[in-house]
Amino acid sequence: MEVRVQNIRKEFSRFPALNDVSLDIRSGELIALLGPSGSGKTTLLRLIAGLESPTEGTVYFGNEDASRKTVQQRNIGFVFQHYALFRHMTVLDNVSFGLTIRPAGRRPSKDEIRKRALELLDLVQLSGLEKRYPAQLSGGQRQRVALARAMAVEPNVLLLDEPFGALDAQVRKELRRWLREIHDRTGHTTVFVTHDQDEALELADRVVVMSKGKIEQIGTPDEIYDTPNSPFVFGFIGESNILRVRVENGQLWIKEHSIGVSALGEADGPAQLYFRPHDIELLDGNGGCIAGLVAMTRRVAGTRHVELDIGAANSKVEIELPPEKVTSDHSRIAFRPTRWKLFRD
């Protein structure tokens, strides 16, 4: 189901955890809320769920104003960060819970409920564990029970709060791929919270980057990565370098050196140049480049990371080079960013 969040403000005893947040979630979409700790991701998720009520603003489910609906009436599936499985119930009872507590009129028969729960356990690859108790499961297994339990009620929207937060890196990666598969198979509109950018970029159809209670940018993983629209997003997503530069006559300058990057149409004045370590080309010349001395090199998987001391700008940058390019410390390297962005302060 389509979910629209409109001009939401949420205060906790005067402290604004969310400030004028608007977000349209399309039906069947897998959306990631990404941001540093305390940016309001969980709060936004809980507001959609109805576990919190907004100080101002409205949440729409389809065309209906959901603000006046209780959590129960919204029919959502919520997966909590620490799973919140019912520890005194078996895995099967946990998954069946949402159906068994329905009033007699809307409740499927016992056999039906059991069948559906078993199907879901099969979907999350937990067949055969239905008689276990949560305490007898691994973290990854609990996570999947929590997901099956949330999906059992055929929710309008599936909300997951850091679904993989408590798991180790290997399991995270597996579950990530698997969640995408499940989503593609079931087609639930899904919102998940994460502070892991790889997770968000790899998994989501669209990523919502949040900071300090505001949405910084909404876009596909490509848009977010390639055209970040604020210094925050640029710095938060992926690796980035920042250099103080000056715009003059459509050219970028560091002190009195032109760096060979033309910025036509940019107004003159000081600015911050942002570029990614791998978006550079090496040059031989002396003019029209950024030059620095190698301070340190590191081999990271398939690339060589080189830290350069840029004397002119009095700062350090990191660039990525092919591994066959061997550099010695204090040798001089000249380069030019091929893809970059200017932000004014």
Partner 1 sequence: MAHDATTTGTGNTELVRVATSESRFARYGLIGIALCFVALFLVLPLAAVFTEAMRNGPGEFFTVLSDPETFAAIELTLLVAVIAVPLNLVFGVAAAWAIAKFEFKGKAFLTTLIDLPFSVSPVISGLVFVLLFGSHSLLGPWLQSHGIQILFAVPGIVLATVFVTFPFVARELIPLMQEQGTSDEEAALSLGASGWQTFWYVTLPNIKWGLLYGVLLCNARAMGEFGAVSVVSGHIRGLTNTMPLQVEILYNEYNFVAAFAVATLLALLALLTLVLKSLLEMKYSAQIAASRRH
Q: Which residues here bind Mg ion, judged by CB under 5 A? A: 42
Cβ at position 230, least distance to Mg ion in Å: 22
The footprint of partner 1 on residues 34-53 (CB under 8 A) is 49, 51
Cβ at position 191, least distance to Mg ion in Å: 13
- Angle (CA) 336-280-258 rounded to 5° is 10
CB nearer to ligand ATP: pick between 12 and 86: 12
Cβ contact 199:165 at 8 Å: no
The footprint of ligand ATP on residues 307-336 (CB under 6 A) is none
Cα 313 from Cα 254, distance rounded (Å): 6
Q: Beta-carbon neighbour count of residue 308 at 10 Å?
A: 24
CB nearer to ligand ATP: pick between 37 and 170: 37
Cα 267 from Cα 344, distance rounded (Å): 10
107 in contact with partner 1 (CB under 8 A): no
CB nearer to Mg ion: pick between 42 and 96: 42
Cα 155 from Cα 189, distance rounded (Å): 9
Query: Where are any strands of DSSP class E within 13-115?
Result: 15-25, 30-34, 56-61, 64-65, 76-79
- Angle (CA) 163-5-229 rounded to 5° is 80
54 in contact with ligand ATP (CB under 6 A): no
The footprint of ligand ATP on residues 194-213 (CB under 6 A) is 195
DSSP 59: E
160 in contact with ligand ATP (CB under 6 A): no
The encoded tokens of residue 95 equal 């998954």
Cβ at position 329, least distance to ligand ATP in Å: 39
CB nearer to Mg ion: pick between 41 and 149: 41
CB nearer to partner 1: pick between 186 and 258: 186
Cα 83 from Cα 74, distance rounded (Å): 20
49 in contact with ligand ATP (CB under 6 A): no
Cβ at position 55, least distance to partner 1 in Å: 16
Interface residues toward ligand ATP, by CB under 6 A? 12, 15, 17, 35, 37-43, 195
